[in-house]
Amino acid sequence: MPHGNIEQPKPLDVTERWAQVTGAHGRFVLFNFVVADPDLSVDLILPYKAFTEFCATNRAVLTVEPGAAAPFERLKWLSKDADGERTQARNEYTGQKRVSR
């Protein structure tokens, strides 16, 4: 039986990786991690800091679904703790003064 022109699948480039944020819940990022092909994906949930480390380690390109943009931006803002940024903002909101150490 002749095989004709059967198209061979193109090789997958496993260095191509994406993290598509689908939402945020509490301090967690909900995202879809894709390797090489959208059919090779897994849904994951990580705390924000672990998520950023995961993306850096895997060299994943970050994308955010439109419906997840506002919750994700809020989570990023809440996760900022360097130089007391989050603490100061919280204290300004509650009317408390920031205490210098």
Q: How confident is the model at residue 84 (pLDDT cuts 50, 70, 90)?
A: very low
For residue 14, the 8-state DSSP code is T
Q: Could you please report the per-residue DSSP string of 61-82?
A: EEEE-GGGHHHHHHHHHHH--G
Q: What's the pLDDT score for residue 8?
A: 81
Q: For residue 15, give both structure tokens.
A: 């260095």
Higher pLDDT, 3 or 52: 52
- Residues 6-45: tens digit of each pLDDT: 888 788 888 999 999 999 999 999 999 999 999 999 999 9
**Contact 51/68 with Cβ under 8 angstroms?**
no
Task: For residues 89 and 101, give the distance between their C-alpha atoms in angstroms, rounded to a whole number.
Answer: 17
Task: For residues 45 and 60, give the distance between their C-alpha atoms in angstroms, rounded to a whole number.
Answer: 15
- Residues 53-82: tens digit of each pLDDT: 999 999 999 999 999 999 999 999 988 753
Residue found under tokens 């092909």: 37
pTM for this structure?
0.70
Q: What's the pLDDT score for residue 6?
A: 82
